[in-house]
Amino acid sequence: VLSFRAVESQSEGQCVPVDSLWRRYSEFELLRNYLSITYPHIVVPPLPEKRADFVWHKLSADNMDPDFVERRRIGLENFLLRVASHPVLCQDKIFYSFLTQEGGWKEMVNETGFQLKADSRLKALNATFRVKNPDKRFTELKHYSDELQSVISHLLRVRARVADRLYGVYKVHGNYGRVFSEWSAIEKEMGDGLQSAGHHMDVYAASIDDILEEEEHYADQLKEYLFYAEALRAVCRKHELMQYDLEMAAQDLTSKKQQCEELATGTVRTFSLKGMTSKLFGQETPEQREAKIKVLEEQIQEGEEQLKSKNLEGRDFVKSAWADIERFKEQKNHDLKEALISYAVMQISMCKKGIQVWTNAKECFSKM
């Protein structure tokens, strides 16, 4: 459960009735699902993981672990900040009600009927395999998102293995501390120096837990872009679906025009069971043919309007989607650069602390 303070509205006549709100993770999932379906051309920010993944073995993978719950809370807060800073999503009324209404916002979501806009998985699968003229830019973007997800997954696995080994190295320094302490008990002149050196080793060994917990926050920044890869693919899939609908509409229109021409001229260009039946059981009367032609002409006119509308919709989608993708790319480059620099600085700081521990130990040994 997440608690956050509602944002004060600057608009006249609008006030926030409560100081804070409680939201469950499932409510965040509902909000994001609504945004993804309502704004198909936008790379909607992802939610943090519900259960810990890519963790070093000593870290609890329990989703109720206090440290993990706190990191997830930070991730959910980051999700809200991402949406609030987006030029389009920030203006959504459902998002505003999520931030300001204690109750009733779920009903508002359901009243939008956004679930009806969701495309079926079968249709999405058909679009993937049957689109004849895919947009090269979206095809390349889909491949890029797959590769980005693969690279970051591998990076997180490597990082977890390094963390495991680092944990072992640090904890073994505790053995130095114990041995130096035991040794100091049997030495008179050297005793104080050995005991002091052992103390430095004990502090060093104990510091690894906090260090790796802090490191998890940098891992979470990488995980955000691991999940962003799926958000990119979602935009590509939506474009595939639109292209699929467009091509199916064009195919249906071509078929109807052919049927109309065949009825008007009395010639059949392609074999069909219907054509064979006409030959076996007699031709249609002129009146019947005229009636069918009239129906087809109406359907053709309607189909042409629909095709024109779908072409315009497709062009608008591509224009809006590509503008948002460019915005996302700029954000991604900035964020990942900052995260990797911060991670490197942390590693440098950690190594400096290790050098300092051994420098302190050296001084202890020198005084013996």
Q: Over the stretch 124-157, which tens digit does the pLDDT of each residue have? A: 767 777 888 888 999 999 999 999 999 999 999 9
Calculate mean pLDDT across residues 323-351. 93
Inform me whether the pLDDT recorded for 259 exceeds 90. Answer: no
Tokens in use for 202?
Answer: 């004990």
Position 145 scores a pLDDT of: 96
CA distance 231 to 149: 11
User: What percent of the chain stands above pLDDT 70?
Assistant: 85
Question: What band does 114 get if pLDDT is binned at 50, 70 and 90?
Answer: confident
CATH number of this structure's domain 22-38+48-112: 3.30.1520.10
Top pLDDT among 290 and 223 is at 223
Calculate mean pLDDT across residues 99-110. 86
Calculate mean pLDDT across residues 21-45. 93
Inform me whether the pLDDT recorded for 55 exceeds 80. Answer: no
User: At a CB cut-off of 8 Å and minimum separation 6, what does 76 contact?
Assistant: 2, 23, 25, 28, 47, 48
Inform me whether the pLDDT recorded for 60 exceeds 80. Answer: no
Position 7 scores a pLDDT of: 47
Position 121 scores a pLDDT of: 67
Distances (CA, A) of 229 to 198, 287, 332, 344: 48, 59, 11, 24
Question: What band does 278 get if pLDDT is binned at 50, 70 and 90?
Answer: low
Give whichever of 62-71, 94-103, 295-304, 323-332 has the largest mean pLDDT: 323-332
Position 276 scores a pLDDT of: 47
Tokens in use for 87?
Answer: 């030029």
Inform me whether the pLDDT recorded for 10 exceeds 50. Answer: no
- Mean of pLDDT over the chain: 85
CA distance 173 to 200: 9
Give whichever of 259-273, 294-308, 353-367 has the largest mean pLDDT: 353-367
Inform me whether the pLDDT recorded for 186 exceeds 80. Answer: yes
Long-range contacts of 158-164 (CB under 8 A, 24+ apart): 159/54, 159/215, 159/219, 160/54, 160/55, 160/56, 160/57, 161/56, 163/56, 163/59, 163/212, 163/215, 164/56, 164/57, 164/58
Instruction: Answer yes or no: same fold for 22-38+48-112 and 136-241+252-264+297-367.
Output: no
List the domain boundaries for the chain: 22-38+48-112, 136-241+252-264+297-367
Q: Write down the pTM of the prediction.
A: 0.81
136-241+252-264+297-367: in CATH 1.20.1270.60: yes
Position 56 scores a pLDDT of: 60
Range of weakest confidence among 79-88, 97-106, 307-316, 355-364:
97-106
Position 132 scores a pLDDT of: 84
Question: What band does 333 get if pLDDT is binned at 50, 70 and 90?
Answer: very high
Taking only Cα atoms into account, the Rg of the chain, rounded to an integer number of angstroms, comes to 32
Position 313 scores a pLDDT of: 92
Q: Over the stretch 204-252, which tens digit does the pLDDT of each residue have? A: 999 988 888 888 888 899 999 999 999 999 999 999 889 988 888 899 9
CA distance 40 to 324: 11
Position 103 scores a pLDDT of: 79
Inform me whether the pLDDT recorded for 272 exceeds 70. Answer: no
Inform me whether the pLDDT recorded for 76 exceeds 50. Answer: yes
